[in-house]
Amino acid sequence: MIRRERDTRVRLDGMSEAQLEIVRRNVFGALVGKAGDLRLLHKLRDPKGAIREVSALGRLAFWLEHGEIVVPDKAAREVAQGLADGVDAMNEWDEVARRYEEAMAEHDALRAFVAHFADAGSGGTQDDR
């Protein structure tokens, strides 16, 4: 028999208040939406799974108000991972990252180019003197 680990409270240290607010907004929004879907429980493909998901969202919402989570909680971790994956998909994260990398490369290249003008002193070449 595998001995279950004790529940451990983990503070959400290292997350800014702005980050916590984003997570709260996403968790509460998902909780309201998924809880509303429970009225159609009889039509859902996995009613027990839907109930587990709403329960996990409720725990996440509660914990966020206290600035901590309780681990291990496989269902809550899966729901949190699903939220993160869903937001990335909605925001087309791969495309955003690619555009950001391209923009940073352009920024760095053009700033390096402009810096050469300042390094040249008078702005002219030896032949122009």
Q: Are 53 and 76 in contact (CB under 8 A)?
A: no
Cis peptide before 72 (omega within 30 of 0): yes
pLDDT tens for the chain, 129 residues long, are 455 567 899 999 999 999 999 999 999 999 999 999 999 999 989 999 999 999 999 999 999 999 999 999 999 999 999 999 999 899 898 899 999 999 999 999 999 988 888 866 655 555 554
Question: What six digits make up the tokens of 51?
Answer: 């109930």
pLDDT at site 54: 97
Structure tokens at 28: 């509460």
What span, in angstroms and rounded, lies between the C-alpha atoms of 67 and 10? 9
Q: What is the pLDDT of residue 51?
A: 96
Residue 95 has which token pair? Answer: 């495309």
Residue 110: helix, strand or coil by DSSP? helix
Predicted local distance difference test score (pLDDT) of residue 129: 46
Choose among 94, 86, 113: nearest CA to 29.
86
Domain locations in the chain as residue ranges: 8-93
Cα dihedral 74, 77, 78, 84, rounded to 10, equals -170
Secondary structure of 66-84 as H, E, C letters? HCEEEECCHHHHHHHHHHH
Is residue 10 within a helix (H) or strand (E), and if so which, with residue range?
A: strand 8-11
Predicted confidence at residue 1, as pLDDT, reads: 44
Task: Decide: pTM greater than 0.85.
Answer: no
Task: Give the type of residue at 42.
Answer: H
